[in-house]
Amino acid sequence: MKRRVVVTGMGVLSPLGHSTGETWNALVEGRSGIGPITHFDPEAYPTRIAGEVKDFDVSKFLDKKAARKMDRFSHFAIAATKEALEDASLTIDESNAERIGVYLGSGIGGLPLLEEQHKVLMARGPRRMSPFFIPGMIVNLAAGQVSIFFGAKGPNLAVATACATGSHAIGESFRLIREGYADGMICGGTEAVITEMSVGGFCAMKAMSTRNDEPERASRPFDSERDGFVMGEGAGVLILEEREYAISRGARILAEVLGYGMSGDAYHISAPSADGDGPIRAMRIALNDANLSPDSIDYINAHGTSTPAGDKAETLAVKKVFGDHAQKLAFASTKSMTGHLLGAAGGLETAVSVLAVHHDVIPPTINYENPDPECDLDCVPNEARRTEVNVALNNSFGFGGTNATLILGKHR
């Protein structure tokens, strides 16, 4: 018998709010968190909009000395983890510290700190650089700082698989608990790279929407007039626990992690394979891991980035995996409201999938106005839907052709 794994707490920081509840309420109401970029002057850029975390005050979580040693992505991780642990009513102490681990990833890591310290180097020379530059910037320091700050002494890992990062971190945490390496994991993704270099780089790839005059309408997955993704920032952190351990301490169980699949496209550095091969295999592996038939799925939180090629390929992949059932399930993208949180997307969207299962509500795909005949599944257009959600599937796909699928269901 494999050990069962459940979700007992969540913490979210997003363009829609500073908590899981604020974000969830905004999603159900169909509100957009996209607006003009304020982190820097974007006037010279083709894209001047993003999903920024607004009015974030790091002093609520860290003193000035500690905050200065970290990049913004680690600030976000600390804030989201604090909420997640409180939500789970989980205290880490000597009795359990060695059995509670951290698996937090970031797609890019401390780019703001890198840009800042490069300017210092160019203007003032190497002797004036911060000694905290490297330990503040590298990708695994969000996991490291969370481990240090909260005292978790179990497995301590980070993954960087572009836009699949958060989902891979959760999936690998699921496996660590299932296989007995930990009783609980703090897991998910964090990202904060709305910076001059990052926005400039994605603009150079022509990957982002340029609907600058209508930021709230710019992210429009599956709509025929979609013109690229909108960058977001934030963090999504889950507390996973072995089921018996959670029950023994009287934890509230939000959902159960049922299955996990991953695959590689072996195709292109940034474009999806037009036939959906990689996502097809990731979804099938997850269904097999969960011992579920395709018609068991009620809702898919789509990767749905609002790119012309990506949305089309994912739609095709879902049709191939689910057959006739594809037309019966809900296939919606919350990126229409949050933008694309890159390495944090999988953490946030897994949390959304858990809440959909827990509350029997599916958030909509907003800005769906012009049907695309090649994206013809039920994207829950423009209004949330109250319906029974017993099993949800979350897809995350990243540059380099890396794919992750998670399946979550009601705890029975």
d(CA 280, CA 174): 21
The reported pLDDT for the residue numbered 228 is 98
For the chain, which domains are there? 5-248 (3.40.47.10), 259-407 (3.40.47.10)
> Please, what is the angle between helix 308-322 and helix 277-290, to 10°?
40
Average pLDDT over residues 56-73: 96
Confidence of residue 2 (pLDDT cuts 50, 70, 90): confident
The reported pLDDT for the residue numbered 1 is 73
Q: Where are the alpha helices (DSSP H) in 186-253?
A: 196-204, 243-248
User: CA neighbours within 13 Å on the CB side: how many for 306?
Assistant: 32
Residue 106 has pLDDT above 90, yes or no: yes
The reported pLDDT for the residue numbered 324 is 98
Taking only the tens place, the pLDDT of each residue in 171-221 is: 999 999 999 999 999 999 999 999 999 999 999 999 999 999 999 999 999
How much of the chain, in percent, has pLDDT values that exceed 90?
Answer: 100
pTM for the structure as a whole: 0.98
Q: Which residues contact 34 (CB under 8 A, 6 or more apart)?
A: 15, 49, 50, 51, 215, 216, 218, 219, 230, 232, 337, 339
Taking only the tens place, the pLDDT of each residue in 292-315 is: 999 999 999 999 999 999 999 999
Active-site residues, by number, are 163, 303, 340
The answer to whether the beta carbons of residues 289 and 260 sit under 8 Å apart is yes
